[in-house]
Amino acid sequence: MKLVFATHNLNKLKEIKEIVPEGIEILSLTDINCQEDIEETGTTLEENARIKVDYVKNNYGYNCFSDDSGLEIDTLNGEPGVFSARYAGAEKNNEKNIAKVWEELDNKENKSCQFRTIIAANIEGKESQFEGVVRGEIIHEKRGAGGFGYDPIFIPEGYSKTFAELDKKVKNTISHRAKAFGFFVKYLMSVD
């Protein structure tokens, strides 16, 4: 089965390719010659994921899926949430985003949060959505060289290492994206 993952984000693409079972070939937007940067104009993760899927299906006709993920910090009323990638500005700078999170959490005791992923899919004309959540907390130092985004400052519940420090196999088992993708794969196996 061939599926288009509606992303130009090479980090996300690599992460998904590492957890996809045999028999499913993942193509990127670049692989289908889609150079457009699909604008995420939604106000929720669900809306943004759906926008990308609809764009690919309507303009290219492929069976496809997309995701939108966000870091949702309890004491900040769920921020940065849908704006996680551009929390500190439109240029989507990870360092500036982390600095802004630390600034917003300054003098706040509660550092509890969650990473949440929504996968939207359109397979043979049927639309579906799948959610994955991992709870954890923010630390005020960057640790680890793996991962991307907020991974160096996020420690998942039950662990002492950040996502950026965890072995890839462990992260790809417990992450929000892995959980959502697990539900998606089960769905794919039922329609195959």
Rounded to an integer, the average pLDDT of 31-41 is 91
- The 10s digit of each residue's pLDDT in 53-63 is 999 999 999 99
Residue 56 three-state SS: helix
Number of helices (H), then strands (E), belonging to the chain: the values are 5, 6
Residue range 80-121, pLDDT digits in tens: 999 999 999 998 899 999 999 999 999 999 999 999 999 999
Is the pLDDT confidence value at 168 over 80?
yes
> pTM for the whole thing?
0.90
Peptide bond into 80 cis (omega under 30): yes
Does residue 191 carry a pLDDT above 80? Answer: no
Query: Nearest CA to 104 among 47, 153, 35?
Result: 153
Which one is catalytic: 37, 54, 68, 151?
A: 68
- CB atoms near residue 70 (< 10 Å): 25
Known catalytic residue: 54? no
The whole-angstrom separation of Cα 50 and Cα 163 is 27
Cα–Cα distance between 186 and 6 in angstroms, integer? 20
Question: CA-CA distance, 94 to 147, in Å (whole number)?
Answer: 12
The contacts of residue 10 (CB under 8 Å, 6+ apart) are none
List the domains of the chain with CATH numbers: 2-191 (3.90.950.10)
pLDDT at 11: 81
pLDDT digit string (tens) for 115-156? 999 999 999 999 999 999 999 999 999 999 988 899 999 999
Q: How far is CA 90 from CA 39, 83, 86, in A?
A: 12, 10, 5
E-assigned strand segments in the chain? 2-5, 25-27, 64-73, 112-123, 126-138, 154-156
Confidence (pLDDT) at 192: 57
